[in-house]
Amino acid sequence: MEAALPGPGAGGGDSDPLVVADFLKELSASMELPVAVAAIRALVAVIQRSGANTMMGLEKELLVTSGELQRFQSTSIALRAACELFMCYVTRTSALDSQNFEGVKAHLIDRGMKFAHTALVARTKIAQQGGRFLRDGHVVLIHGYSRVVINLLQRAAGQGKRFRVLVTEAAPGKPGLQCLAALEKYDIECQLCMDSSVARLMEGVDLVLVGAEAIVESGGIINKVGTYQVALVAHALGKPCYVAAESYKFARLYPVNQRDLPEETEEVKFGDLRITTPSRDYTPPELLGLLFTDLGVLTPAAVSDELIKLYN
């Protein structure tokens, strides 16, 4: 006779039906909250509600629930990386004292909240790291909307550094307009430029600064479509291309070409004409200079070692 399946709260690996609602609630509370932080907080809430009475049961519940969260935003690499990192924390914590389940559970909740806090303060650390490479009189080209990049530039301007920023439109979606508005609030001299003018303008640029949706094992990055061609032009003209991104965006992915990326597209309208276009691309490590992260200033070659440390 088959054993009956345990019901919800019995530690049988059931999904928490509230996890997606918690995730959306976190995101709606603040436009500045990173997706990864919202995911971690939602998973911590799962632990707090869980009726599991063994560590194995809790691990199964979290595994199923994190899978549900990833399916909800199936194209988000940052969300996937955050869930995987959190599950690593679960495994580590479960080995502390399997006889004291309530103590382990409390420790896990505390650790999860600290992880979320660390992710929130990462931008400040990155701004401190990357700001040292920005000089008075520099012309900086940015592409795509990155809160980390904006924070870095705002902090540098607040320290009295005077520089000029070329902001690409970053079509489709044109998030460059949003970047421009954010930077002009800090009296930073900015100029909006068309994506097709990057090669024309690169001669007068001192450095390129971009964010990343994900930093992959090779040391390359996945980011807003157009980043690859910006980096190609910068490399051809001997201009450094720097990346500013949080360590929770380190993803266990190893794309070799553009076809290896998880598919994500945007629809663009031109009058009655509608076309579907990729929304992100892969920039290989040989086109990148330094990566400004909350773990320190890294070369692309150092990323694989940092990934091992994070996940092991």
Helices 55-72 and 35-49, interaxial angle, to 10°?
140
CATH 1.20.120, the chain: domain bounds: 19-121
Is 165 a residue whose pLDDT tops 50? yes
Mean pLDDT, residues 277-294? 95
Higher-confidence position of 174 and 9: 174
pLDDT band at 17 (very low <50, low <70, confident <90, very high): confident
Mean pLDDT of the chain: 87
Residue 141 clears pLDDT 60, i.e. is over it: yes
Q: At residue 3, does pLDDT exceed 50?
A: no
Average pLDDT for 174-197: 93
For residue 232, what are its two tokens? 């190609």
* Mean pLDDT along residues 203-222: 96
Residue 14 binned pLDDT confidence (cut-offs 50, 70, 90): low
Confidence label for 97 from pLDDT (cuts 50, 70 and 90):
low
pLDDT of amino acid 12: 43
Q: Which CATH number fits domain 19-121: 1.10.8, 1.20.1280, 1.20.120, 1.10.760?
A: 1.20.120
Every domain range in the chain assigned CATH 3.40.50.10470: 132-311
Core vs surface per residue 118-136: b (16+ CB within 10 A) or e: bbbebbebbbebbbebbee
pLDDT above 70 for 137: yes
Mean pLDDT value of segment 109-137: 87
In the prediction, which pLDDT does 140 show? 98
Mean pLDDT (whole number) for 69-95: 79
Whole-prediction pTM: 0.84
- Model pLDDT, residue 9: 38
Determine the CATH number of domain 132-311. Answer: 3.40.50.10470
Euclidean distance between CA atoms 13 and 103, whole angstroms: 20
